[in-house]
Structure 1
Amino acid sequence: MVAQISFADTWGLAAIVVAMTLGGILKGATGAGIPIIAVPVIAAVYDVRIAVAVMVIPNLISNLWQIFKFRSSAADMGLCWQLAVFGAIGAGIGTVALAELPSTFLSLCMAAIIIAYILLRVVRPSVQLSMASARKSVAVVSVIGGILQGAVGVSAPAIVTFLNAMKLARPVFIVTVSVFFASMAAVQIPAQIYYGLLTPDIAALGLFAFIPLLGALPVGDWIGRRISPKVFDALILAFLAVLALRLIYAELL
């Protein structure tokens, strides 16, 4: 049974405000990061299904905003379209199989992939995924990321690792990853409504959660524009490390 939400729960709403503010700052600076902070907090206050459903509207709006803001930096529209199409397909599959996917296995596999990638970057910092190699693997990575987003609300282990390996400049990275996230949210919304996951009350909570997120995005963008590409790359790696540790902790401890 899905937990009931309550707008009279001031502590729960306060936790959501803090989570969305921190997630918004990270997203404004790097282009990703809201779900990894917000989903666990909302799930702790309510439950996992509500957490995934609450995040879908803020995800769509925030990513559309970043697509518009960085639209001139979309260097490869072909890659963006592939990310959008295959990510949307994966998100549809993940939403349908929300209660049945072996999320523990997938989460631990993604954590292992992230750790291996971080170690590779430390040992061989010059490693880079060419555009030709990216085009060959974009469909598989996007579908996996979409399935993770639809099923557990967090797709960064697949897509952020993939895009970071391409060493995209910050504006290009942000618009590219935002296209991916927005396409998945556009599929999740009608699918969640159909399966009764996105109810009017949960949608209202999602709109409420977007308010602190909206205020935090410009702060993150201001921070992101004032750090060097080297620092930005290190920030992404640190984000991935935290993500991997959280996945391991959540599944094994």
Structure 2
Amino acid sequence: MSGYLSPHVLFVALTFFVAGFVKGVAGMGLPTVSMGVLSAIMPPVSAASLLVIPSFVTNFWQLFTGPNFLGLIKRLWVMMLGILVGTLAGSWLLTSANTVYASVGLGAALIIFAVHGLFAKPLSVPTRFERSLSPVIGLATGLINGATGVFTLPAVPYLQALGLSKNDLIQALGLSFTVSTIALAAGLARGGAFHLGSITLSVLAIIPALLGMHVGTMVRGRISAATFRRWFLILIGILGLELAAHPFLF
């Protein structure tokens, strides 16, 4: 029993509570926060193995919050296939013995995510370009997901640029994140990164993640979304800088 109350386990639980809270407020951010924080105390591949199950549960929940599941599958299936292929191709870096490259890659992905969110202007993708762009965006998202465990780029800005309704966008993000999580789990399993300890702790992490998501959803309307998003991105950028620089400073 004391093993489940160790500082390590409590830190993991707190991390997933905060990550769930961010997801509840912003509709995204659980893997980004959990990968960024946990990779400061463990190899990125270990952090990725812990986030798989809580990420899948929360994103699967989000996937079925809207009414247009089949329509989005029909529209985005090529992108989802690209995510699957790209993740399986890129996961060799995350599961390799050289954690330096994985840490630097994760840090760089977090920095790009933060800078884009803070400074980039919203994009708009004309419908006529969607068929050719979707597989490219999916493959790029998958490669980044497989190499770093972060599956927000470039999928999130691309989906935001498609002009979807609010409900369809939330559901489309849930679809993309669910496929990314399943693909990441497959890549980790292929690389032998799953073991009983990580699976058990990942299952237990569902509880604080869902609790944090519930709390975040309740307070969503009581805080400034713009202010929350700005400080969230700033903190993600700082985490990214620390992860990218850490292997060369210590």
Per the normalisation by structure 2, the TM-score is: 0.78
Any gaps of 5 or more consecutive residues in structure 2? none
Could you give the per-residue CA deviations for residues 179-232 of structure 1, whole angstroms, max 9, x where no partner exists?
Answer: 1111122223233223220112110010011111122223333344x379xx65
| Deviation for aligned residue 1:147 | 1.8
| Deviation for aligned residue 1:96 | 2.9
Contact 2:63/2:174 (<8 A) preserved: yes
Confirm or deny that 1:191 pairs with 2:184: no
Could you give the per-residue CA deviations for residues 151-183 of structure 1, whole angstroms, max 9, x where no partner exists?
Answer: 211122322232334454442222111111111
Per the normalisation by structure 1, the TM-score is: 0.77
| Deviation for aligned residue 1:87 | 1.0
Contact 1:74/1:175 (<8 A) preserved: no
Q: What letter corresponds to residue 181 of structure 2 in structure 1?
A: A
**Which residue does 2:83 correspond to in 1?**
87
Match of 2:27 among 31, 35, 44: 31
**Cα distance in 2, alignment partners of residues 222 and 135 from structure 1:** 38
Q: Percent identity?
A: 19
Partner of 1:70: helix, strand, or coil? coil
Equivalent runs, 1:1-253 vs 2, <5 Å: 7-8=3-4, 10-72=6-68, 76-98=72-94, 99=96, 103=102, 104=104, 108=108, 111-112=111-112, 115=115, 118-121=118-121, 127-166=123-162, 168-224=164-220, 226=221, 239-240=232-233, 242-252=235-245
Contact 2:114/2:234 (<8 A) preserved: yes
After superposition, the CA RMSD in angstroms is 3.3
Any gaps of 5 or more consecutive residues in structure 1? 1-5
**Cα distance in 1, alignment partners of residues 81 and 152 from structure 2:** 17
Report the count of equivalent residues: 241
**Cα distance in 2, alignment partners of residues 176 and 76 from structure 1:** 7
Could you give the per-residue CA deviations for residues 12-51 of structure 1, whole angstroms, max 9, x where no partner exists?
Answer: 1221122111111221233310122212332334332210
